[in-house]
Structures are given as C-alpha cells and as structure tokens.
Amino acid sequence: MNGRFFETFFRNKLLILMPLILIPLIVTPIVFWFNTPYYETYVGVWVDRPSYLRNNDGWNQYITPSQNQNNQITELLRTRAFRSDVARRTPLRLLVGSVTGDEVIRVYFERNLLTIPSGSNVLTIRARGDTPQLAVVLANSVVEAFRDRSFADRMNQSSTTIAFYEARFNEANDELTKENDVLRRYVAANPRLTTIDPTRGAAATTASRLGLPAIAIDPQLAEYIRRVENAQHDTNRMRDYLEQARFEATAAEEGEGLGFQVVDPAPTPTQRIFDRRRLMVYPAAAAAAGLAIGAALLVILFVTDRSARSVRDFDTGVRVLGAIPRLQVKKLPKKAGPHAARRAIGYVAGAALPAPKGA
C-alpha cells in the first residue's frame, strides 16, 4: 500500500506539486501590490469621573474609568450617526449621506480606528490613514466628536431635569397660593377667629389662653392650616431640588473638560508602515491551500489508479502468463548505460542480449 502510494506521488509529482508552487507565486505578488502602506498616530486621553458630578451615565463601578470610556466609544462607533459625525470632520465628509458611502465609512473605521485602555485612567485612540494628515485628523475628530456628544448629552440631561423640577415647583407654588387664599377667605368670613391669639389678653378666648391647638378651637381652621403647611413644605422641597439641579448643570458645564482630557496630542507620523501580518498570512494561506489541493490530487490519483504491480493485484479468474521480477541492484555503475536494465532482465529470464556497441 505504501509503495503504491509513493509510486503514485513520484509518477505525478509535477502535477501534485504544481498547486503548492503556483498558488503562492500568484498570491504573493498580488498581496504586495495591494498592501499599500499607511501612517499611524495616536491620542492619549485622561479619563476621570469628577465626584461632584452626579449623572446617570451608565458607568460600571466594577471596571476602570478607561474601560468604561472605551466601551462607550466602541458602542458609539457602531452607530451610523456617530460615524457620520466623525466623518464630517474629515476628508471622508463627501461619503456621508448615501448608503454606499456609509458602508465605506463603516469598513474604513473598523480597519483604521482602535481604542485601547492603557491603564486605569488613560485611554489610547489609534488611527491610521493613507496620508499623515488624514491619520491626525481622524484621531482628533474621534476625540472632538465624542467630547461634543458627551457635553450635549449631559446638557440635555440637565435641561430635562431642570425643566422637570421647574414644572413641579410651579405646581407646588400654585397649590400654596391656592391654600393661602382659602385660609384668608375663611378667616375673613369668621371674625371670631381673631381672638385665638393668646397675646391679645382679655380679648383672647379661654382655649387660646390655655394654649390649646387650633384644632381644639376650630377644626376647619386647623385643616386649612395643615394644607398650607404641606403646600409650603412641598414648595420648599421642589425649590431645593431645582437649585440642586441648576448647580449640577453649572458644575457639569464648567467641569466637562476634567473628565476627558487630551494629555498626548496626536503627533504627525513620518514613517510609512506596511501590514506585515497580511504579508505573512496570505502567502501562508496560499501555501496551505496549494498543499491541500496537491494532497487531494494525490488521493484522487491513488484511488483511481487501477494498474497492476504484482500477481496479487489480478482477480482470481485471470490467467497470468508471466511476471517480471523486481530487481534490487545493490550497486550499479554510474555509467551503466541505457541497456543495463534490459540486460539484467534478459539475464534473469535466461535470454542472452547482445552487448551494446562500445561495451
């Protein structure tokens, strides 16, 4: 079995080895041709979360600030709106607006943009471009677009919160005014209630001089007073919330730059970089494909080879007239000539062959 396998290989070695040689020879120049060099730059950003800012930004407290920010930027780069915002700040702005252009921008960003947490508070944004200027503009555009979006989101959140508390404060203030009017009308309609003040001396009622509460003097008056006090409490509470929301909005506006600071601006690259991984992977893949094709050809040739090498390869009903024995020559002269095999076979068969001329 092994002998036939190797015999099949050596009889068809050119056909079997051709894919292994030809495919890498075709693929390698193509990879070198299309493997255009690029320029790479990076931006180092210091990420922090000021303790005096309270906002619902969805940060995970169990990971570092740089990892939180990296997750946010990565998710935003998957959205068409953010990619378009970044592209408008670069020479890719002409592609924005069309379906084909958006797809080109998506593929370009996936290949040429990478965010890497470099520590607890340092986030590195790497950008590649066909020119040094494009690489720098792309890196800076990501930082600017993310910063503007974060600031806009924070301001929208603050504005929504302020508007909510302003509405609640106005409602509480209106309710307080309403209850005060009801109380004043009730007191004006009941002049006797002016004698509930214990400081009026003889003009005061006996109950007020004894220090009894208003509910013991007039239950209806006590109910109106309770409503006024509740309305006043709600108004004060809404005013405090409103002032706190305004303070947080002002603090967020003034401290926005503290949470996302560029500590390493993008330098202009001067050296072209070739994608060495592509130069290694594609030729290796081509060689593996050629090897697989050659192995498949070898198996096919081995399976489809029906030639007989010995008497055992024939069916039992076939009559064998003769067989040529296998010769194993231990030492053959280097200049034996083309007739050495014929003479050896004739010698084994018992027939004398004429010696070649010059022998």
Dump the DSSP string for 230-255: HHHHHHHHHHHHHHHHHHHHHHHHHS
Q: In this predicted model, what pLDDT tens digit does every residue of 226-277 receive, in sequence order?
A: 888 898 999 999 999 999 888 877 777 666 666 778 888 888 888 887 767 7
- What pLDDT does residue 336 have? 56
Q: In this predicted model, what pLDDT tens digit does every residue of 161-180 receive, in sequence order?
A: 889 999 999 999 999 899 88
Least confident range from 50-64, 90-104, 176-190, 279-293: namely 50-64
Max Cα-Cα span within the chain: 166
User: Which residue type occupies 258?
Assistant: L
Least confident range from 138-142, 154-158, 174-178: namely 154-158
Q: What is the CATH number of domain 2-138+259-286?
A: 3.30.1890
- Calculate the dihedral angle through the C-alpha atoms of 278, 279, 280, 284, rounding to the nearest 10 degrees: 90
CA atoms of 316 and 331, how far apart (whole Å): 37
Least confident range from 32-41, 127-136, 274-283, 335-344: namely 335-344
Least confident range from 7-16, 155-164, 303-312: namely 303-312
Domain ranges of the chain: 2-138+259-286, 159-256, 324-359
In Å, how far are 95, 147, 331 from 126, measured between CA atoms?
A: 22, 17, 68
- What pLDDT does residue 86 have? 93
pTM confidence score: 0.59
- What pLDDT does residue 313 have? 66
Q: Comparing 99 with 33, which gets the higher pLDDT?
A: 99
